[in-house]
A and B are shown apart, each in its own frame.
Chain A
Amino acid sequence: MSQWPRYEVFQQDKEGRPHQNAGSVHAPDAEMALQNARDVFVRRPNCLSLWVVPAAAIFAKTAQELAEDDTWQEELDSNTDQETYYVFQKQSQRRAMTYVTHVGEVEASSPAQALQRALQKYKGGTPYVWWVCPARAIFRSETADVESMFAPAHDKTFRMPNEYRVVAQMYEIRQGE
């Protein structure tokens, strides 16, 4: 079987919080990607909204790549047709904060221009990774989806793996041998 395309998944867990990258899923199309994203990433935690974006639609650069090479840049020009691009940054290397986070939007006529404008507009901090993608490439869950896609997770009980005490029990069994 040929491989399905990969979609990056962005999740918003609370009202007013930005969408953050949760990981990626494979799917034949955006609608199925959204469905897979729900099942892979949000069965347990809070979720208000999910976005999926074809990985191929994301123009990405690391801070190191930006420092070493500027040949990707294009002449900035505002005359050609512009569209909205979403801008994402990975802002921290701390283990609990390795997410690529939505920071805002820019208008541009190409991904490279979008990144250049993003670098000017969002220059605070020391982002480790930059992603830009056209707004039209984002497929989003709708407000009406919350009730059936995300809300049932709140009622489910589950155990963390460490509650099964498997490792401790294996030690006990081995000591008895």
Chain B
Amino acid sequence: MNPDLQHVLTEKLLALGDDELVLGHRDSEWAGHAPILEEDIAFGNVALDEMGHAMLWYNLRRDLTGDDPDRLVYFRDPAAYRNLQMVELPKGDWAFTIARQYLFDAAEGVFLAQLAHSQYWPLAEVAAKIGREELYHYRHSSNWVKRLGLGTAESHRRMQAALDELWPYTAQVFAPLPHERLLVEAGFVPDPNTLRSTWLTTVAPFLRESGLDVPAHGGDPAAGRDQHTEYLTPLLTDLQEVARYDPTAEW
């Protein structure tokens, strides 16, 4: 593989892994606090699944660079993280968490379905593996969106507020990485410019069926993945605290 292509591929794998890791961490903050015991277990499963998916992306990256995923996760500073801002926002109320999870699950579904045809077979393989589990995640989060959207006045109000708050952040979801065009031309990843409209044809009708208004697109240019909110640093401090306390510890 030529070095330019390999460089963009490692950046893409980092972005994919970081999205799943940071979202998984936010999801894990509900452990012991979800609305009902059954959902506590269900959402803990989702959190673990996302972290497991992060590991798969980081492992593909390790195969190219030799970077140990544990080092990458526990000893990298916030400025070097490449996750979406959407996934680092505080967990908020249950509606916010569900709205974020739904928007992310729908985006992942669209992306993975196309990535399963990647010309870089390790990507195609992981996409197929994660894809089937993401189908279940989508079912889980969409079932919640429908019930909160069509539930009580209170649940509807919270769901709409969450959606309104999250929507501007979705511009970043399918924004291409610098030089991602190289990956597209090689047939490694789907063209990010077509993904958003595919995502919208899933998400917009579903949100309307769930009694929710689809917020208007702000049209602001998407922030780069090297731009983070004030919330990432405390999240990583929490995530990395134990590993950094004794970097030589065996687990």
Give the interface of A toward B (CB within 8 A): 4, 25-28, 31-32, 35-36, 38-40, 43, 147-149, 151-152, 155-156
State whether the Cβ of B7 lies closer than 8 Å to any Cβ in chain A: no
Nearest first, the 6 closest Cβ-Cβ pairs linking A and B are A39-B42, A148-B135, A36-B38, A152-B133, A148-B136, A148-B132
Residues of B close to A156: CB separation below 8 A: 52
Write 23 A-B pairs (CB below 8 A) sorted by A numbering.
A26-B36, A26-B37, A26-B38, A27-B38, A28-B147, A32-B147, A35-B42, A35-B140, A35-B143, A39-B41, A39-B42, A39-B45, A40-B41, A147-B132, A147-B135, A148-B132, A148-B133, A148-B135, A148-B136, A149-B136, A152-B49, A152-B132, A152-B133
B39 lies within 8 A of chain A by Cβ = yes
* B38 adjacent to A39 (CB under 8 Å): yes
B42 contacts A40, CB within 8 Å?
yes
* Majority-rule SS of A interface residues: helix
Please state if A32 and B143 are interface contacts (CB–CB under 8 Å): yes
Bound form: Cα–Cα A153–B41 in Å: 15
Within 8 A of A (CB), among B38-69: 38-39, 41-42, 45, 49, 52
Say what secondary structure dominates the interface of chain B.
Answer: helix
Q: B179 an interface residue at 8 Å Cβ cutoff?
A: no
Contacts of B139 in A (CB 8 A): 35, 148
B129 within 8 A of A: yes
Could you list which residues of chain B lie within 8 angstroms of chain A, going by C-beta atoms?
Answer: 36-39, 41-42, 45, 49, 52, 129, 132-133, 135-136, 139-140, 143, 147
B132 near A36 (CB under 8 angstroms)?
no
Q: Which residue from chain B places its CB closest to the CB of A39 in the assembled complex?
A: B42
Asked if B135 and A43 make an inter-chain contact with CB atoms under 8 angstroms apart, the answer reads no
Bound together, the chains give a CA A150 to CA B41 distance in angstroms of 16
- Give the residue name and chain of the A residue nearest to B151 (CB): A28
Chain A's closest residue to B49 (CB) is A152
**CB-CB nearest in chain A for B140:** A35
Cα-based distance from A38 to B45 in the complex (angstroms): 10
Is the pair A36, B147 in contact by a Cβ cutoff of 8 Å?
no
Do B143 and A4 touch across chains, with their CB atoms under 8 A apart? no
A29 to nearest B CB, angstroms? Answer: 8
Report Cα–Cα, A103/B39, bound state, in Å.
31
The interface residues of chain A lying within 8 Å CB-to-CB of B42 are 35-36, 39-40
Q: Residue of B at shortest CB range from A155?
A: B129
Q: Which residue of A lies closest to B42 (CB)?
A: A39
Least Cβ–Cβ distance between B106 and chain A, in angstroms:
15
CA–CA, A35 and B39, complex, Å: 9
Q: Tell me the bound Cα distance from A25 to B140 in angstroms.
A: 16
Chain A residues within 8 Å of B49, by CB: 152
**Residues on the B chain within 8 Å of A4, using CB:** 36
Contacts of B45 in A (CB 8 A): 39, 43
Shortest CB-to-CB span from B248 to chain A, Å, is: 19
Q: What is the CA–CA distance of A38 and B42 in the complex, to the nearest angstrom? A: 8
Contacts of A25 in B (CB 8 A): 38
Residue of B nearest to A25 (CB): B38
Q: Once bound together, how far apart are the Cα atoms of A24 and B143, in whole Å?
A: 20
Q: In chain A, what residue has the closest Cβ to B37? A: A26
| Chain B residues positioned under 8 Å from A151 (CB to CB) | 132
Chain A residues, CB < 8 A from B132: 147-148, 151-152
List chain A residues, Cβ under 8 A from B143: 31-32, 35
CB distance from B76 to the nearest CB of A (A): 25
How many Å lie between the Cα of A132 and that of B19 in the bound state?
Answer: 48
> How far, in whole Å, are A4 and B39 apart by their CA atoms in the complex?
12
Cα-based distance from A155 to B55 in the complex (angstroms): 13
**A152 and B130 alpha carbons, distance in the complex (Å):** 9
